Structure 1
């Protein structure tokens, strides 16, 4: 019998919302999971398919903590790691931090050689005496099995994943012909399954895995931070920690798998070795959603009073939720991240709606770690504008002139902000930024455009504009931390922690 553990997307070093405690959470959650994995599940090997780190360029402290945690794993338990999109180099370099950890003996870094032959991947065997910078596969010998348990690694390939999978299927077959047939085959990979999580931007279908399935018994996935399984051979455990308010919801499971392999396993397949899989939730920081409808309140004072009353009424429910065993540390509830959502129609000027003061009150009253503000409101003035707008201005030959409509809406928004004295100019800036975003121009260029205009219009406000674009866990580019407030307008369910602009 052999026990494997499959964990993914640990994102060590992620200082979410700029809060240091969240960076520490990533480490403590992994530490707790490793303690369980080693002492309770008696694992023989750990599989980690990508995003060990959150950033490609590490602070020394993060690397030191990572080495400390990996040192807790017994020497006879290999930690087999493949590369995720967050582990890749920001700039072209031959050596990554995964190469470094591999050479130090903390992990076995597995990746495929995909460039030598466009048709077939090449996998080098791991040699403990000459580990090199990486390996292609790792054999785990089990006396009771007819052959080794062979673990291959495929690095993040983004849009090229489909092509790489075909190379991998052929490469595994050739490797087995060269090195002998294994009793059981595992592939570590970092991508999403389009058929299983269609709203999450997965790029691989079951059809693209047809040839891989002929060679692989267990596909160990990372990349999507939500648990899912498919076809009795595809497994994705969900990240140990939630990394935004969407992932913090109860319908997103987070944790790791323990996989028990035996010759009389309960799952039959082409191999004589069968396997059983169990999912174990990780102990993590709680997220708590708190919603407040602004519609009934005619003035800022009335709204503030109602908000505080609602917060006090909801506090006991929040405390009970955070007291669940999965959210505790040292048998005490952990301070939550609060997903504060304002909904409805605002009856007074947006400039008088002090969300910063309300969120600060809630954070202090609830003893929350952080309050993430999400705006799903409309203002009465904008609704009136849309209902009263002159059709002759925005319709021509029966077609909507979106440019005119956008100008009117942007100007109305500007009038309800701290920039009201230059509402028309600010509307032009917003319109230009919108056009640049639609043209998919670089975030840095949009930021500089807004900052430059802001310096010209408001020289007394010296700070540059920061575009807060939340990290998309399914994108291969680096995100920017969220400021804690999203833009006006109804947020779709999949756009939690989406785009905001802060000063």
Structure 2
């Protein structure tokens, strides 16, 4: 254990997402707890005097008994060493508009965590001092070993509107109570430009008032580790939650304060490895060629996977852990989609990689689909989802709208007619009787085109 510094040492971590049973896999729920607990034990080994947590302790707002037990058991490790934990609410922890006692407030009242939040709507002070004897359900700030910690709960898009008020409230407390050796503000929001393609972050201009009164801004929310200007620190989530996140660093900061300021060091958290495999199907003219070339591609990427698994933070007790594989199929199929055996693909990947779970993203397009896209009046983007893949339901709806628009009687109600076609198709696939399907069509026709009259046309 390292020697203590002149000032207190603390750990800053965030986004544990305890209880997240990703892909419905029990081991992924266990991963969330084990990563959370191992981070706590590592921090204790580093000799921290207190801990700060920047939100999203839980993954779901409706916390089940297992997730609550996992959270309490992890925090109990700090309690055994008399290490206080200070935290804030994240967007996964509770609703923006509170109705009843939430689980973070429960942990606060039980002494497992000091929950901090700003009172930005009341008539009293924005930040109330924490009372260790009568803690209530939350506090505004707390003093620990000469360090003053303030908390700003998740406020979504309203965050930027309140930062100047928060800065003024911090300055007021420090003027009335005396300047601390160090001022920390915990927040659950992102800073713009730190995650490509992610909009809605706080701008650097909006942060200026806070920078004047805060030494250490401890953030959560974005799962990517980053820092800015030697005063903004975001450790990222403890676990990767998809393969995009797996490319980022994840972990926690150990921070030493001293009379000259503070020094921070980032540590990788122990977590399960994710590995992405991309395969382009363009050159596979038959299902047999596809299987042969896919297996060859899989064999070629295996060394990279095995090398990645050797990183110490991906191991458990020194042992290699089963990876989560994200398989992305893309390109133009040269054979019928019905001949693409996705189950065979999954089984082969599981066998060769010893994967815990294989998540298959099928972005391939058949020749038939490509021909349909060329015939549509609207652009391809209208039938693609957020990942750029063809959405079958959106494509079907577009086709039905085009068919409806080709009949002059329906041109003012293409959307409604297309919806009717979808309902009829679903009824047929559900093996409803011809009489029932016919009745559905008649009823919809009466609703949409009462001027046509008659039920037998």
TM range, normalised to the smaller chain? 0.7 to 0.9
Tell me the equivalent position of 1:124: 128
2:439 aligns to what? none
List gaps (5 residues or longer) in structure 2: 1-6, 384-388, 405-418, 433-457
Name the counterpart of 1:137.
Answer: 141
Residue 148 of structure 2 is matched in structure 1 by 150
Q: Say whether 1:319 aligns with 2:306.
A: yes
The C-alpha deviation readout for 1:4-63, integer Å capped at 9, x for no partner, is 111010100111111111010000011111111001x10011110110110111110110
**Alignment CA distance shift 1:459-1:4 (3 Å):** same
Instruction: After TM superposition, list the pairs within 5 Å mapping 1:125-204 onto structure 2.
Output: 125-141=129-145, 148-204=146-202
TM-aligned CA distance change 1:169 to 1:13, over 3 Å: same
CA distance in 2, matches of 1:210, 1:460: 64
1:225-240 paired onto structure 2 within 5 Å = 225-240=223-238
Decide whether the 8 Å contact of 1:121 with 1:168 is kept in 2: no
Cα distance in 2 for partners of 1:451, 1:329 equals: 50
- Aligned to 2:378, which of 399, 402, 418? 402
Aligned to 1:106: 112
2:400 matches 1:428? yes
> CA separation of 1:429/1:261 partners in 2, compared to 1, >3 Å: closer, same or farther?
farther
Note if contact 2:186-2:218 (Cα within 8 Å) is conserved in structure 1. yes
Alignment of 1:344-355 (within 5 A): 344-355=331-342
More displaced 10-residue stretch of structure 1: 320-329 or 149-158:
320-329
Contact 1:9-1:222 within 8 A present in 2 as well: yes
* 1:266-302 deviation per Cα after TM superposition (whole angstroms, max 9, x unaligned): xxxxxxxx10010000111001111212111111122
Specify the alignment match of 1:307 in structure 2.
294
Report the CA distance between 1:317 and its aligned residue: 3.3
Distance apart, 1:452 and its partner CA: 5.9
d(CA) in 1 for partners of 2:422, 2:68: 35
Counterpart of 1:45 (choices 42, 50, 65) is: 50
CA RMSD of aligned residues (A): 3.0
Q: Residue in 2 aligned with 1:243?
A: 241
Contact 1:192 1:201 survives alignment (8 Å): no
Matches within 5 A, 1:192-231: 192-231=190-229
In structure 2, the CA distance between the partners of 1:130 and 1:229, relative to structure 1 (3 Å rule), is: same
Q: Which residue of 2 aligns with 1:83?
A: 89
Change (3 A) 1:2 1:93: same
Q: How much does 1:227 deviate?
A: 0.7
Aligned position for 1:458: 429
Distance 1:382 1:425, change over 3 A: closer
Deviation at 1:306, TM superposition (A): 2.0
User: For the Cα contact (< 8 Å) 2:279–2:330, is it kept in 1?
Assistant: yes
Distance verdict in 2 for CA 1:301–1:256, change over 3 Å: same
Deviation at 1:326, TM superposition (A): 1.6
Q: Do the aligned residues in 2 keep the contact of 1:57 with 1:89 (CA within 8 Å)?
A: no
Deviation at 1:159, TM superposition (A): 1.0
Q: Secondary structure of 2:245's partner?
A: coil
Report which of the two structures shows the higher radius of gyration computed on alpha carbons: 2
Question: Which residue of 2 is the match for residue 343 of structure 1?
Answer: 330
Offset, 1:323: 2.0
Which 5+ residue runs of structure 1 have no aligned equivalent?
A: 142-147, 266-273, 395-400, 408-412, 433-447, 462-503
Cα shift readout 1:148-200 (whole Å, capped 9, x = no counterpart): 21000000001110122122111111212222221210000000001433522
CA distance in 2, matches of 1:37, 1:170: 33
Equivalent in the alignment of 1:71: 76
* Map 1:369-408 → 2, pairs under 5 A: 369-384=356-371, 389=375, 401-402=377-378
Pairing 1:278–2:265 present: yes
Distance in 2 between the 1:405 and 1:80 partners? 46
Q: 1:426: Cα distance to partner?
A: 9.1
Counterparts of 1:75 and 1:300, CA distance in 2: 61
